[in-house]
Amino acid sequence: MREITYLEAIREAMQQSMRLDPDVYLIGEDVAEYGGAFGASVGMLEEFGKDRVRNSPISEDALVGVAAGSAVTGMRPIVEIMFSDFITIAMDEIANQAAKMRYMFGGKAAVPMVIRMAGGGGTGAAAQHSQSLEALVAHIPGLKVVMPSCPYDAKGLLAAAIKDNNPVIFIEHKLLYKNKKYIENVPEELYEIPLGKGEIKRPGKDITLVATSFMVKKCLEAAEIALQERSIDCEVIDPRTLRPLDIDIILNSVKKTGRLICVEEACGFGGYMGEVVAQVVQDGFDFLDAPILRISGKNCPVPYSPVLENEMIPNHERIKQGIYSIFK
């Protein structure tokens, strides 16, 4: 089996889905000739033509509105938003239209669309291009929210999202796109990973770490160091889908380990991991042998300065120290 990058896995999922279904098309700013802001659609214009790989004006609200309208009439649009920060411009179309139409029409109207976007920091792109806004969209009923952490998951989850009859927010981390450190074996054929199904990325017995997207990588690094330095065996859980959430895989792990740390890149106040903590306390309080710890981004805009940005975003050292603090 060949090894490919996260970005290549995303492109392959789009290409193979479009070959199978003529109703699938890609629309976004600079997705055609330029190949997308991060290169996700390079070569797709040549294969599918301008009718199915469509450049849009610099207007996220118009872009998402067009996609939602076409989805209701039977198409399956893939929308590329350059940076996740820009979904704020299109929140009426996302939150008040796409997310609610199926419910408001009693299930008679489906809205099968995927909104792809690059999220997270670590690239020096500053406050307006580095946010992690998954909690904003996960809060809205009617939306599914996906955050793949590796190439295998990216391809399978995107394929499933494209076939889903609901609007799916698909958040891709910038630091994973072309990172050769995280390439992995990915099947050439198209496959699907069910939305709402988490995965144990590293089995362990002493403590459970729950993380999303790039923070999964940081947790895996911290887990290896903790095992070498203190013989602490960490289990790392990746929910993969934030909504619907596979809470059972988390509860089963906490029942085994008795300890839980929740890690996210987003600002901690009102962050998504607060929901995970609430559900574990509600349904698994008796499993806990220690207080739950949350590790998150600092509660400030993402700084431009690399030194300050590194301080704001959690790293494996901060996660490692969090693990050790549970065992004091």
Contact 266, 296 (CB under 8 A): yes
Contact 242, 146 (CB under 8 A): yes
Counting Cα atoms < 13 Å in the Cβ hemisphere of 75 gives: 16
Alpha carbon 132 to chain centroid distance? Answer: 10
Q: Which residues are catalytic?
A: 129
Contact 80, 116 (CB under 8 A): yes
The Cα–Cα gap between 145 and 170 comes to 6
The Cα–Cα gap between 14 and 251 comes to 34
Start-end of H helices in the chain: 6-20, 44-48, 60-72, 91, 101-104, 134-138, 151-163, 214-230, 247-257, 273-284, 306-312, 316-326
Is the bond preceding residue 244 a cis peptide, omega within 30 degrees?
yes
The Cα–Cα gap between 120 and 100 comes to 27
3-state secondary structure 41-93: CCCHHHHHCCCCEEECCCCHHHHHHHHHHHHHCCCEEEEEEEEHHHHHHHHHH
184: buried, middle or exposed (CB in 10 Å: 19+, 13-18, 0-12)? middle
Which residues neighbour 77 within 8 Å (Cβ) at sequence distance 6 or greater?
24, 25, 26, 27, 66, 67, 70, 71, 113, 114
CA torsion, points 315, 319, 320, 325, in degrees to nearest 10? 150
